[in-house]
Amino acid sequence: MQNIEKLKLQQNSTIKNALEIIDKAAMQIALVVDENNKLLGTLTDGDIRRGLLQGLDLNSSIESIIFKTPTVAKISDTKEDILKIALAKKLHQIPIVDANGKLLGIKEIDELIKPKEKINKVILMVGGLGTRLRPLTDNTPKPMLKVGNKPILQTIVEKFAEYGYANIVLCVNYKSDVIQDFFKDGSEFGVNIEYIFEEQRMGTAGALSLLKNKPTEPFFVMNGDLLTNVNFEHLDSYHISNNSMGTMCVREYDFQVPYGVVNIKDSKILSIEEKPTHKFFVSAGIYMLSPEILEYIPQNEFYDMPTLFEKLISEEKNIISFPLREYWLDIGRLEEYKKANEEYDEVF
């Protein structure tokens, strides 16, 4: 997303201030925010012209000409969602806000249609044995199982490529030749692929110690058995705007107790809850990490991502969550594999 600092205005700004911002930023729009960075509205050249025709001058306040019901997109909206909104409203750009209306960025529609290639690495963990999906994985690594008539891993690679993330690293182990023979150098899929060979199980974080070329920009880490419609560009922007060392995508998980729960204190029954539902956040297996995080990963040892995050939390580093509202499915068992095939055409 575009840097929005150069586009911001306060409600008490003048028309002259607005014209300077619109002219300097060359985006045909200014964004009006309050002191908490909540989006109050937008201002375009057209809004200013109408104000001048009504008798305002360059020193007049913009308050009366702010467009206070602009079309916005949420941080959780996919690329497809945003394009659909923009095309329907014939917009060239859309402000991006969080659930509380806080301004996070602005998306240019031209960039969505033709995304710029980004240098951030995408590291995909695809070396697992897939034991819970046997016998399907006896001769095929789990990421290469077909969902929607193409390997799971191909869908993941193509989704990253849609957002301009073309530098892919595949951490391979089990049946690695199957993955290499299919993807080769990635050029057929519009990406650049390099491979890391795990000679022993390294865990979801340990394999990062084997990187030949250490990332200099924030990078993605994702399990290779997931299907999701998450907007990777929004995750990237969210990570940077929060100055995070590590960002973990989380998914809300509901669990209903199948019985009446009895709350007791000192043998006295206080209440009875009939089949209550408990809600938790669980890791979605997708992360955005800053390069300095690699210093916390031991060399050539098994090391899982939860262990890494626990260490960073204990050292009070800035570790944040990114709630997923989009489609997400972890294909770990046969029933989930079946579900993925049933839903694929509708979702993707």
Are 237 and 291 part of one and the same domain? yes
Nearest CA-CA partner of 96 in 45, 33, 163 = 33
* 273-277 contacts at long range (C-beta below 8 A, 24 or more positions apart): none
Confidence category of residue 347, pLDDT binned at 50, 70, 90: confident
Whether residues 175 and 292 fall in one domain:
yes
Token pair 């969550």 in the structure block, residue: 321
The CA distances from residue 309 to 1, 225, 239, 296, 319, in Å, are 27, 21, 15, 10, 8
The gap from C-alpha 178 to its chain's centroid, in whole angstroms, comes to 28
pLDDT for residue 218: 95
Confidence of residue 276 (pLDDT cuts 50, 70, 90): confident
Mean pLDDT of 315-337: 86
Lowest mean pLDDT among 72-81, 211-220, 227-236, 282-291: 72-81
User: Residues 152, 91: one domain?
Assistant: no
Contacts of 255 (CB under 8 A, 6+ apart): 277, 278, 279, 280
3-class SS at 302? coil
Q: Do 236 and 320 have their domain in common?
A: yes
- State both tokens at 57: 């001058």
pLDDT at 104 over 80: yes
Identify the pLDDT of residue 39: 92
Same domain, 108 and 252: no
What is the layout of strands, in order, in the sheet containing 192-197? 192-197, 165-172, 118-125, 219-223, 277-289, 246-256, 319-323
Same domain flag for 125 and 76: no
pLDDT at site 130: 65
Task: Give yes or no for a cis peptide into 135 (omega within 30° of 0).
Answer: yes
> Over the stretch 14-65, which tens digit does the pLDDT of each residue have?
988 888 888 777 677 889 999 899 999 998 877 887 888 788 888 988 889 9
What's the pLDDT band for 222 if we cut at 50, 70, 90? very high
Higher pLDDT, 227 or 254: 227
Identify the domain containing residue 44 by its residue range: 5-113
Q: What pLDDT is attached to residue 78?
A: 81
- Cα separation, 249 vs 288, whole angstroms: 8
Residue 167: pLDDT over 90: yes
Regarding predicted confidence, which is higher, 2 or 208?
Answer: 208
Tally of domains within the chain: 2
Cis check for the bond before 218: say yes or no (omega within 30 of 0). Answer: no
Domain boundary (72, 98, 113) is at: 113
Q: Is the pLDDT of residue 162 over 70?
A: yes
β partners of residue 123: 169, 221
Q: How far is Cα 227 from Cα 345, in angstroms, rounded to an integer?
A: 12
Three-state secondary structure call for residue 180: helix
Residues 127 and 106 occupy one common structural domain: no
Domain boundary among 74, 95, 113: 113
Same domain, yes or no, for 246 and 297? Answer: yes
- Mean pLDDT across the chain: 86
What's the rounded mean pLDDT across residues 301-308?
90
CATH of the domain at 33: 3.10.580.10
Structure confidence at residue 5 (pLDDT): 82
pLDDT on residue 3: 63
Asked whether the predicted pLDDT for residue 1 surpasses 60, the reply is no
Alpha carbon 22 to chain centroid distance? Answer: 29
- Amino acid found at 266: D
Q: Which of 39-43, 120-124, 129-133 has the highest mean pLDDT?
A: 120-124
**38 and 146 assigned to the same domain:** no
- Can you list the alpha helix ranges (DSSP code H) found in 121-185? 152-162, 176-183
Is the pLDDT at 168 greater than 90? The verdict is yes
On whether both 276 and 129 belong to a single domain, the answer is yes
Cα–Cα distance between 56 and 65 in angstroms, integer? 10
Residue 29: strand pairing partners: 44
CATH for 169: 3.90.550.10
Closest CA to 97 of 70, 69, 74: 74
CA terminus-to-terminus distance, the chain:
23
**Do both 31 and 156 map to the same domain?**
no
What pLDDT, on a 0 to 100 scale, did the predictor assign at position 2? 54
Domain end: 113, 131, 150, which one? 113
Is the pLDDT at 107 greater than 70? The verdict is: yes
Considering the domain architecture, whether residues 257 and 288 belong to the same structural domain is answered as yes
Residue 45 has what pLDDT?
A: 79
